[in-house]
A and B are shown apart, each in its own frame.
Chain A
């Protein structure tokens, strides 16, 4: 995976934010997102790149204890792609 990969919101039906957490309606299914996942989705709506997103996530939630912060962020992004919430644009 190269640094040119970007992530953007997929075509969901709605995104509802409640405090730090949120829910997405995609493909007829509601997926509830944690505060971390909500922050990640929000960053893609604001079109932050992965490096800027990682900085923001570390600032809000702290660095992961056993992992490279950018790798951990990419893992979350990939999970959201898998769930149909984000799209990976090479």
Chain B
């Protein structure tokens, strides 16, 4: 995931419960054991001060599994992004892919403004690439990040549940994904969905704040401009509901 191997070392009195919970939520990110780029130590224990090992303090020590998973997701994201600084172009975007061709549209939106909702709605038919960080390699291919989705299951819950894309029946992303479109989401009350084309320089100004570690890339604006041009330019999609968004994304996926 995100071209980064993250090892999650589970500890604590409820180590097995923790390992099973992590494995279930992060099912689509599991990879054969390899030399990790990032290691995080997690402890699930009624005593949050329990020490999991002689040399380490846990990165996360919590008594409740749901709370641990809730905190784990942003921690993994941040550490993986840190690891890829200066290598991958990373946009705050959901990614949805054509399951047969791998052509992928990045749906850009600031945190809390619809990425997860859009990914859930669209990935009943399109491949789920990510709902958080869409990472583009220099050649335009995508480093997928099919993380658990944060979902508020019941109003009033203290934190969102972390659900595997399998739990939500989301279509898997195909093995090779490439960038085919970049769109900023603007959900409004429009009766008719419409697409706004954004000039290239304005696109750079609009996307830079929705990226991570852009300045760390070599020739960062050139890299961002290359991705935008590969995607056929930045678009703002104005839509009111899932069906409208699906039609617009389908158009982007089939555009030459």
Q: Is the CB of B215 within 8 A of A25?
A: yes
CB distance from A83 to the nearest CB of B (A): 13
| New A-B pairs, 16, CB < 8 Å, besides A14-B222, A21-B201, A31-B205 | A13-B214, A13-B220, A13-B221, A14-B220, A15-B221, A16-B225, A18-B200, A18-B225, A23-B204, A23-B205, A25-B215, A25-B221, A28-B215, A29-B208, A30-B205, A30-B221
- Secondary structure at chain B's binding surface: helix, strand, loop or mixed? helix
Closest to B202 in A: A32
The answer on a CB contact under 8 Å between B219 and A32 is: no
B195-230 vs A, Cβ < 8 Å mask (1 yes, 0 no): 000001110110011000011000111100100000
Q: Which residues of B contact A (CB under 8 A)?
A: 200-202, 204-205, 208-209, 214-215, 219-222, 225
Asked if A32 and B205 sit within 8 Å, CB to CB, the answer is: yes
Min CB distance A15 to B, Å, is 7
- CB neighbours of A16 from chain B (8 A): 201, 204, 221-222, 225
Decide yes or no whether A22 CB sits under 8 A from chain B: yes
| Pick from A18, A21, A22, A25: contact of B208, CB under 8 Å | A25
